[in-house]
A and B are shown apart, each in its own frame.
Chain A
Amino acid sequence: MSNIESLLNGFAGALTLTNLMFGLLGTILGTLVGVLPGIGPALAIALLLPITYTVSPASALIMFAAIYYGAMYGGSTTSILLNTPGESGSVITALEGHQMAKRGRAGSALATAAIGSFVAGTIATGILAFSAPSLAGWAIAVTAADYFALMLIAFATVGTLLGSSMIRGLAALGVGLTLGLVGSDLQSGAVRLTFGNVQAIDGIETVTVIVSLFALGEALYIAGRAKNTGWSIIPMKGRALMTRQDLKRSWRPWLRGTAIGFPLGVIPAGGSEIPTFLSYAAEKKLSKHKEEFGKGAIEGVAGPEAANNANAAGALVPLLALGLPTTATAAVVLVAFQSYNIQPGPLLFVTNPDIVWTLIASLFIGNTLLLLLNLPFVRVWAQLLKIPRPYLFSGITCFALMGAYVANNAIFDLWIALGVGIIGFAFRRFGVPITPLIIGVILGPMAELQMRRAMQIGAGEISALYATSLSKLLYLVLFLVIIGPLVWNFKKKLANKK
């Protein structure tokens, strides 16, 4: 069956009334969590994971896909109107977008962000639909040793590229890997790091870790470290519409942003900061209105927003084709797949083609719903920011605790959640990024499995880990990934000394 045929089947599977309802619910929830500070798409999906016990896989995945894209729309709204990026990918948008809003051009900024996200999301999902299956076909030949090397690269990039300090990112990764060790070893049955606790034998629930790191950690951090000040919303005049001039200045940045964002999502480059920043830099360089940059240039909103969305779609390629999540949200989507006993990876397109194609189709549908839902109602979304801070945080806290409990209906998980919440506070306090921990918890056990498989095949010889040509190539890349930033930092230090 050709890709187009499969995709059409996917649409047929996705376009039922029930699924559309879940898609609509997802777009609303996604935009909601994107607009509200303190919660992001990873947390929203993690909280909704319990519905995977009662809802069909297609409906749940459609809802999660809509949340995934919706949160990015919501994030751009807050960064433009409030200068508080709801998630890391919107930081760059705030630079120009908020300046535009201050000059009374909030409508244009919101429109170029929304339409740009739609254009980029649609193109990127299209590329995803045609590239993921062929990548998966090729990935069947990938051996355990290659997988292990790939995971090491993911560890290295996520650990070193996020946050301000490389070594602190690696520390976060180490803590994540340690949490991933807890429980019984699946291959030998040996029990690790349980300290005699029977409930710990099943290991630490990933969802618990994600939910408490983000929500409880954030609540504790804001309680302990933030000034008790409100925020000032810039009132929006007029509607979210673009003029012909705006469109003329936006369409090229949209396409360039897509071209930058998608490939950087496919390779594990550590989230959306880098592509959005690169797109911003490119637009600044290419713009005919350089003098407007820093004062509200529309190109500076259009490009990074497109890059952000294309990047999110790109991150689904390694998730679906290799089973490798590279962002926190992709990691939660992986957990969702697993709770349906579906293992993403090369075989996914063979064993569960209907689910994958439904998911891809629902990305298209979710994206369209978002455009229809957000442009006319952007003012309604902005109203959400009037929720008083105390109630916002108590709501987030309660949802997070609930999410930690319902995963297994176990009080033990709640104590773990509180412990991880305190880790989340300490990480924020000492400038340690959070995503490497999540990647460590999820990928750690997978990396161990692949390593042991590879060595078992090689009769215990270490050389089995770099026996294939692909693994040799990957170790070369890994070497460059680690050495590159070191040289870069060294050069910067030299320059600073002069």
Chain B
Amino acid sequence: MNTKSIKGELAFAGSLLILGVIVVFDTTNMLVPPASGTVGPQVFPYLVSGFLILVSMGIIVQVLRGNLGQPEGTEFGDTIEKTDFKTLLVVAGSMATYPLLIERAGFIVATTVVFFGVSFAFGAKNIVKNLMISVIFSAIVYFSFTRGLNVNLPSGILGGL
């Protein structure tokens, strides 16, 4: 188990390192407008990327020396050792439907889908009850924000309401 968590940590620190390198590349290839003043738009990104690369290498060294990160505790008691990827993917997948649906189908439909998906993943197995709560929640939020606080939300396919 230990080697596996080290791999995860290294992957995390490695992606920070890659991020730093990407910033360096982007900054080097930047089109700098001629009148950019004494300190151009490249100085700060170079500083930031240098900092990021240094810090991520520091983390890699720490991890290799066995100094792993402490997974954050939750407000729900104990955490589990191994990530539950199935639940995680259902939640992430439900979230990802939102940008696809919000303008095509409208706020109420998009919110109902996300609400239903996330609560299903979190263990609401009574599908009918869950669906009802999802619809009611979406409708209440939609009308209190559009009518109560004058915030515009896409009505979508339920535009007639």
Contacts and interface: CB of A to CB of B under 8 A. Distances in A.
Interface of A: 37-38, 50-51, 53-55, 84-86, 164-165, 167-168, 170-171, 174-175, 177-178, 181, 185, 187-193, 195, 216, 219-229, 231, 388-391, 393-395, 397-399, 401-402, 405-406, 409, 411, 414-415, 418, 421-422, 425-426, 428-432, 444, 447-448, 451-452, 455-456, 459-460
B69 A165 contact: yes
Contacts of A177: 48, 51-52
Contact of B123 (A37, A187, A390, A430): A390
Give the residue among A402, A414, A421, A451 with the most B Cβ atoms within 10 A.
Answer: A402
B76 A227 contact: yes
Nearest to A397: B118
Given A190-B40, A397-B95, A227 B141 contact: no
Interface string B81-103: 00111011011101110110011
B72 A431 contact: yes
A77 B62 CA distance: 39
A168 B67 CA distance: 11
Given A397-B95, A428-B72, A452-B39, 11 more contacts: A181-B23, A190-B36, A190-B42, A219-B95, A222-B122, A231-B76, A391-B119, A397-B94, A397-B118, A398-B137, A401-B95
B102 A411 contact: yes
Contacts, number: 254
A380 B96 CA distance: 35
Contacts of A187: 36-37, 41
Nearest to B31: A190
A194 B11 CA distance: 24
Nearest to B45: A181
A228 B123 contact: yes
Given A54-B151, A421-B95, A452-B37, A390 B120 contact: yes
A192 B123 contact: no
Contact of B96 (A175, A409, A418): A418
Contacts of A167: 55, 58-59, 62
Interface residues of B, number: 89
B19 A178 contact: yes
Contacts of B36: 187-188, 190
Interface string B40-56: 11111100110110011
A170 B55 contact: yes
Given A192-B30, A223-B91, A224-B87, A38 B75 contact: yes
Q: Which residue among A54, A181, A229 has the maximum number of chain B CB atoms within 10 Å of its CB?
A: A181
